[in-house]
Amino acid sequence: MADPHSEYDIAYVNQKSIKGSAIADFLATRTTEEYESLRFDFPDEDLMCITEIESESSKEKSWKMCFDGASNALGHGIGVILVSPDGNHYPFTARLNFFCTNNIAEYEACIIGLRAAIERNIEILEVYGDSALVIYQIRGEWEVRDSKLIKYSDLVARLIKEFKEITFHYFPREENQLADALATLASMFKASKEAEIMPLKMSTYEVPAHCCSIEKEADGRPWFHDILEYIKNQSYPEQANENDKRAIR
C-alpha cells in the first residue's frame, strides 16, 4: 500500500530545541483581556537627562540655638548663639537694665533667641540651655510656680507656635561657653544708650604675630637669599669648594 503522504512531499524531522516554543507557549498562557502591546513611540525624545528633584522636606535642615543668662553684682546680661546648618554662628547679647533674677535672665535670653530665629524665618530649631528649670518648664515637665515666671512661660509658649518643629534640650554649662561668655560680658560692661557697639567678630590665628613680620634686608637682597645660597651649596658641594678656594686666593 502506498504512503498517503508521499504525494505532498511531507518529511518528518526530530525537534532539536523547544526553548523558543516553550517561551511562546508560556506567553500565550499569560495573555489576558487587559494586555496591551508595547509602545515604541517616544514622546520625550528631546529629553536630554533625568534627575531626581530633592523634596522640600529634605531641604529643610535644623538650626541650633544656645542661650544663657548671667546675673552678678555688676548687672544682668544675656547671650544667644544661632548656629546655621552650615555651621555659621550668629551671636546676640544684651544688658538688662532692670531688676531680675537668674531665672528671669535665662527666660529673657531664650525669648530673644526665639524672636531672632522667627525674624530669620527658621522653621526647625533645636534649643539648648544650661538652666534645668527653664528647659523643663518650657517642655512642660516641671510646673511653673514662681509668679514672676508665669508670664515668661506663656510668652515662650506663644513663640513656639511660630515654628514648624522645635525641641528643647538641657546640657551642662561647660558645653555652653560661648553663650555664657556673651552673657557675662553684657552683665559686666556698662554702655550708655548713645553708645554704638558693633557686632563682635572672632578670628582664629594659627601662628604668632611675629611670624608674619618680615623685615627688609639692608643689603637689598631678598629675604630668601641666604636660604637659596645654602641650598645651592648643599646641591653642588664641589662647586662650593671651588668658590671657597677662589675666595681665599
Q: In this structure, are strands 165-170 and 124-129 parallel, antiparallel, or unpaired? A: parallel
Instruction: For the chain, give percent helix, strand, coil, nearest 5.
Output: 40, 15, 45
| Helices 225-235 and 237-248, axial angle in degrees (round to 10) | 110
Question: Looking at the whole model, is its pTM more than 0.75?
Answer: no
pLDDT over 50 (residue 40):
yes
3 state SS for 58-99: HHCCCEEEEEEEEEECCEEEEEEEEECCCCCEEEEEEEECCC
The residues spanned by each domain of the chain are 62-188
Task: State the amino acid at position 225 in one-letter form.
Answer: H
Per-residue model confidence (pLDDT) at position 139:
92
Cell 547671650 locates to 79
Q: How high does pLDDT run on average in the chain?
A: 76
Per residue in 110-164, pLDDT (tens digit) is 999 999 999 999 999 999 998 999 999 999 999 999 899 999 999 999 999 999 9
Which residues have CB under 8 Å from 69's CB, separation 6+? 76, 77, 78, 79, 102, 104, 105, 106, 107, 108, 109, 131, 183
DSSP string computed for 7-61: GGT---------HHHHHHHHHHHT--TT--PPP---TTTT-----PPPPHHHH--
- What integer pLDDT is reported at residue 65 of this predicted model? 94
Is residue 191 predicted with pLDDT exceeding 50? yes
Rounded Cα distance between 158 and 156, Å, is 5
- Grid coordinates 641650598 are at which residue? 231
Q: What percent of the chain has pLDDT over 90?
A: 29
May I ask the CATH class of domain 62-188?
A: alpha beta
Grid coordinates standing for 145?
510656680
